Amino acid sequence: MIAEEIHRITEQLPSGVRLVAVSKYHPASAIREAYAAGQRLFGESHAQELQGKHVELSDLAGLEWHFIGHLQTNKVKYIAPYVNLIHAADSPRLLEEINKQALKAGRVVRCLLQLHVAEEETKFGFTTDEAQAYLDSGAWQQLEGVELAGVMAMATNTDDTTRIRADFHRARQFFEQAQMPTFEELSMGMSDDWHIAIDEGATLIRIGTQIFGHRDYGQP
Ligand SMILES: *Cc1c(COP(=O)(O)O)cnc(C)c1O
């Protein structure tokens, strides 16, 4: 099942688009199954859960851990030593903490700026204006332990594909207009909207349910 879904998805990916298999709330055994099918990028959204899986799965060569959810500043220290990409850098303060912990670990941690482009109210993410102001401020240039590798966005939770496409389009416009030499990744698209995200230029899609089935929130 897991292997079939991974093959079904990866067969459809244009070159330059990579799949992040979102394994949050699913057991390490499910990740092993996906790994055996060739999957290497895995997304988690809770620092403690990621930490446990990182230890349990340390034998899997070439596995990349992507942190995709909201990251609390007091949890950064647990994942900074090994995380490959933090998708949801959603405030200057979080970026400063990632920088601090990355330097402590002797690393540069790649991060994506989370853009808030959806209709829903949320306290997470930069509006496009805030993100532009942050880039213009040059504050990020002081962060030697952080590489700003691009942008992440989530579309409005709706069946209206015109709306979803417009949200992704705004993220892409920001990504392109920013003219940041280190920007490489545009992370957008989940189980229900990844085809649209690819149309709109995503380089990383984050898919959980379609691969692993529904999550049991009682069993982290
Ligand atoms: C859980 C999650 C996903 C995966 O969502 P599915 O609908 O299960 O594919 C993608 N991105 C983020 C930020 C998530 O938290």
Q: How far apart are CA 32 and CA 20, in angstroms?
A: 14
**142 domain-assigned:** yes
CA distances from 17 to 9, 112, 119, 178, 187 (A): 11, 16, 26, 20, 10
Quick one: pLDDT at residue 123?
76
**204 domain-assigned:** yes
CB of 2 sitting under 6 A from ligand 1: no
Query: Can you give the residue range of the structural domain that contains 189?
Result: 2-212
CB of 188 sitting under 6 A from ligand 1: no
113 CA distance to ligand 1 middle (Å):
17
Quick one: pLDDT at residue 220?
46
Sign of the Cα pseudo-torsion (120, 75, 63, 213, in order): negative
What are the per-10-residue average pLDDT scores of the chain (220 residues)?
97 98 97 98 97 98 98 98 98 98 98 95 91 97 98 97 98 97 98 98 98 74
**145 domain-assigned:** yes
**160 domain-assigned:** yes
Tell me the residue ranges of DSSP E strands in the chain.
18-22, 41-44, 64-67, 85-89, 109-115, 146-153, 185-187, 204-207
Q: How far apart are CA 22 and CA 35, in angstroms?
A: 12
**220 domain-assigned:** no
Q: How many CB atoms neighbour CB 110 within 10 A?
A: 22
**What are φ and ψ of residue 33, in 5° steps?**
-65, -45
**219 domain-assigned:** no
CB of 68 sitting under 6 A from ligand 1: yes
**162 domain-assigned:** yes
Residue with token string 């995503």 = 202
Residue pair 125/77 in contact (Cβ under 8 Å)? The answer is no
Residue 14 Cα to chain centre, angstroms: 19
Q: Which two tokens stand for residue 10?
A: 């990866």
CB of 70 sitting under 6 A from ligand 1: no
Q: How far apart are CA 61 and CA 11, in angstroms?
A: 23
CATH number of the domain where residue 12 is located:
3.20.20.10
Q: How far apart are CA 165 and CA 167, in angstroms?
A: 5
Q: Which two tokens stand for residue 160?
A: 């209206």
Quick one: pLDDT at residue 215?
82
**71 domain-assigned:** yes
**Count of domains observed in the chain:** 1
